Structure 1
């Protein structure tokens, strides 16, 4: 894959697997390409050389595989790839393969979505996919009852990417995608031996979680779950799996000092963050929501705070966006149009996977970043605010009409959810067209049309005639807030 990255792009059918696999490939790319450099100037020189080269040196890839290839086997008895062989001894009976496959029913979890029997075996490559997904998107809740060094319990924490939205560069060439994805050391510094798990001499210590020391450990070593698969010797198919805690939840530790150390380590690991997320100053990373249009986060994606800017930013874009902002025009020209790929699953923290979704921005990111094009970024911000305000006005008008009609003031408006979903669905194309043409997206007229669609059946009834017309007037003739100047 790495040797041929310059020949195409990654195509993975499941979003969580795609997101996790991209992180694995970036970690491998950093190690193979020599971008594991702490010094910014040396890193810049190496990055420029890799851009000129246009592909990874096959001999460097072969040398890396020759050194570490034995650690990439799922069934290795001592160091199975990204798994913990201790689970076979430290846990009870294994679970059926469906426990590993997030899209299958397991226990009482969503049997109406996938009726594949829980015991149906899976292929090793499918198991590899879902091992990656569990490390990044696995749920909190109960897993296998694991006993390690005197600590026994079932509770698992949620994985680091659980229910958040992940943003990746999309150039049409996987090599340049990987090159852009490698974080600059001034953005994510290397503070120690930044090795992926398979290059480390020993298995992770569950009672002493590793603190991220650079981009590789942030991408690969922050898993919240430990998994282990068992293959049928006759067929090679995966027939059983263990899924348990990687480090115990602090409440499971009785000794006060050890409990405090785990709490501090867990906070440090979480605070290190992931280079592909939009992080908010409050509330953590931007969460995934299938009903939330991509355009609503585009403003946060392109807002870059440069050194010396005293404006307090509410969000921080992914590391590759910040790298993009520093590249010379010549490098951007060689890279070509760079769009953003959003990968996410609308989930809760526990074992509930609702909707997986993937989108790509129809416009190149570099044309709108606030560092390079502040006027275009300002247009994006104002258009997004107009879209948000219009959506709020539409929802308020619908609720107002319903409250005036309904005999129960506590009843929920039946029109709002569908109308707002339709609004953002249609606003999306108008938003991008308006950015390209620098025109008005006509969102106000869209809101009125959707209001009429939602209320049409009731608008001619004696009960709804007046309330619906009165609420509609708040959209067609919104009040203008006037400000008065004080005289002295």
Structure 2
């Protein structure tokens, strides 16, 4: 039995457990995969390292002796720089021969040789190897595997499958095992199933193992009296008895398996061809003391390990791992192994787990590592450490709200329930990687301002993710209302219902002016609108001539009003424009001419287009509703009609809609949209629909956003109140 490690020449050698311990100070890392296999192997190595960690004149680290300081002993081992060879020899020489042999006839390592007589049938080697299909399960990674023609497994692969099963095995149906007249064919789940483990990661395997040893005094129950690893028992325990309780680090980390396994090698003992897999105990073991998981408490007061989630990034747990959450909470507890970490330079955290359910469904392996920040955050930079909690909190709040907003939008869109859906998956895939980049950039930024505005920064990412998920779904006014109503969930606590549908005016800048964009095409459009208005005001009969072309074809428009439009477009030559763009200018001139004389005079000032630039037609109609010039139902029907039109229909129906709200219209933006309708009509219609409801709900959104920003500026990463989710 052995595992592969890279040597100085970046080649791999296979070492047994004893050799791993002897050379741990020379080994950078272990090449054991998949992720849950490495997590299981670490626990075995932790237990062995604790057993052989004694220095001359001192006790091992699995002993929490009353007269000794455990942390001082651990630090002395680290300073020694390696595990003492004599302690390793003393331990392994004291274990009966064959106990660490994968194929020993009497007591094979971590197996039960009694199964050959107690189980009438084997389970097959595929049942033991992660990724292989077994029974009706699908193959994860393909390959020539089937139950009818199983491919033998190399000893290392079989060993990895063995320990993965013992720690992460499924509950439910298994091979029948009969003991003393009691026959059963079901088992409990492995002690680590569904959970995510966190391991301190040093620059060598030696540092990793010693840094990861938990202090026995910090765990409820474990001491050293009667503590046994499975290979240390003189005889097999009675499977009908009570599952062994954790009385020390050995039994805690290696003695809680719920499955019993026996590998069946071929005659040459160089491959495993079959295996027995069944229950180990009829009573469950205690899972509540594992020192490498984050413990959470449910609303009912039940404690459970944080689940492995392939969609959850490791940075989201950094605040818990360093014990620096922004507010104290006994509902989330960091792993015991992280309570008293040694001051090892460049100490990282390795997260390992298996995204799976409690029974038989396996989804994905989970494997992630942090930068070397743990001791830096803990000791060297108190301000940076404090910032971790605020960053994690702000990111989590924005992420939870985004998830609920996406679910609510889908529910309103489909007239269904608020639940996991396509949009919630899309926003998660979009938001969390961006949030991770923001987390690390803000955490290590030298700019003091990086510690402020965290809630707003993460909320901006959430808005982008929400837009990305919903942008192609707004095909009607009902769709737009669903999306924009759900968008409110991004901004936190609800405000008074009376503010729900009152659009707000554009926000001015510090000098009292509304900020507008300024680029050459915009300047040309603004000049055109102003020249048409001035021409209508100064030239007798101009307004009547332009009004008369409403509803005409492009050719008829040009014949009736070509002189006016050419003059207003100068220096642009209308003849070089595409017909649909020419028509946009003629229709715009006709609509401006249709505005009442008094309104035209008021619009004719020097800043005619500036106050409203950027408000599309949907926002303009919402503004008219807010100013009580138009009923909401009427505005909604009119906008619904316009957004369903082709180019001819839009030119026909748009003037009638505009004449009712001339004071609210952003003429420059409308000209741009009308000119681009042939090429981007669907996108423009979507923006009109969303803009309408976005403006109607602006007061409620702005109030919630202001409340969140106020709390953010008060020092927290974001508000602590969650949404309706």
Question: What TM-score does the superposition give when structure 1 sets the normalisation length?
Answer: 0.85
**Hey, what's the Cα distance between the residues in 1 that align with 2:365 and 2:181?**
39
Greater CA radius of gyration, 1 or 2? Answer: 2
3-state DSSP of counterpart to 1:449: helix
More relative contact order in 1 or in 2 (CA 8 Å, sep 6+)? 1
Q: Check if 1:58 corresponds to 2:85.
A: yes
| Matching residue within 301, 317, 322 for 2:321 | 301
Q: Check if 1:245 corresponds to 2:279.
A: yes
1:92 Cα deviation (Å)?
0.8
Q: Which runs of 5+ in 2 are unaligned?
A: 1-19, 54-59, 492-700, 709-725
3-state DSSP of counterpart to 2:310: coil
| Matching residue within 145, 148, 156 for 1:125 | 156
- Counterpart of 1:278? 294
3-state DSSP of counterpart to 2:22: coil
| Matching residue within 249, 270, 285 for 1:215 | 249
- Counterpart of 2:17? none
Q: Tell me if structure 2 keeps the 8 A contact 1:301–1:321.
A: yes
- Counterpart of 1:49? 76
Q: Check if 1:229 corresponds to 2:263.
A: yes
- Counterpart of 1:74? 102
| Matching residue within 45, 61, 65 for 1:35 | 61
Q: Check if 1:138 corresponds to 2:169.
A: yes
Q: How does 1:163-202 map to 2 (within 5 A)?
A: 163-188=194-219, 189-202=222-235
Q: How does 1:299-378 map to 2 (within 5 A)?
A: 299-303=319-323, 313-324=330-341, 327=342, 332=343, 335-369=344-378, 376-378=384-386
| Matching residue within 437, 444, 454 for 1:436 | 444
1:24 Cα deviation (Å)?
0.7
CA separation of 1:123 and 1:293: change in aligned 2, threshold 3 A = same
- Counterpart of 1:99? 127
CA separation of 1:470 and 1:55: change in aligned 2, threshold 3 A = same
**Hey, what's the Cα distance between the residues in 2 that align with 1:423 and 1:30?**
42
1:284 Cα deviation (Å)?
1.0
State the superposition RMSD in angstroms: 2.7
Alignment deviations for residues 388-420 of structure 1 (CA, whole Å, 9 cap, x no partner): 2222333344445445544x3448654222112
Question: Which stretch has the larger CA shift, 463-472 or 376-385?
Answer: 463-472
- Counterpart of 2:703? 479
CA separation of 1:164 and 1:373: change in aligned 2, threshold 3 A = farther
3-state DSSP of counterpart to 1:37: coil
1:13 Cα deviation (Å)?
2.5
CA separation of 1:472 and 1:62: change in aligned 2, threshold 3 A = same
Q: Check if 1:25 corresponds to 2:8.
A: no
Question: What TM-score does the superposition give when structure 2 sets the normalisation length?
Answer: 0.58
Q: Tell me if structure 1 keeps the 8 A contact 2:262–2:275.
A: yes
1:312 Cα deviation (Å)?
5.3
Q: Which runs of 5+ in 1 are unaligned?
A: 249-261, 484-488
Q: Tell me if structure 2 keeps the 8 A contact 1:6–1:173.
A: yes
Aligned pairs, number: 451
Alignment deviations for residues 337-389 of structure 1 (CA, whole Å, 9 cap, x no partner): 211110011011122211001001125223335x9977555433332222222
**Hey, what's the Cα distance between the residues in 2 that align with 1:403 and 1:23?**
44
Q: Check if 1:424 corresponds to 2:432.
A: yes
Q: Tell me if structure 1 keeps the 8 A contact 2:294–2:333.
A: yes
3-state DSSP of counterpart to 2:52: helix
**Hey, what's the Cα distance between the residues in 2 that align with 1:468 and 1:315?**
34
**Hey, what's the Cα distance between the residues in 2 that align with 1:236 and 1:399?**
53
1:239 Cα deviation (Å)?
1.1
**Hey, what's the Cα distance between the residues in 1 that align with 2:157 and 2:407?**
47
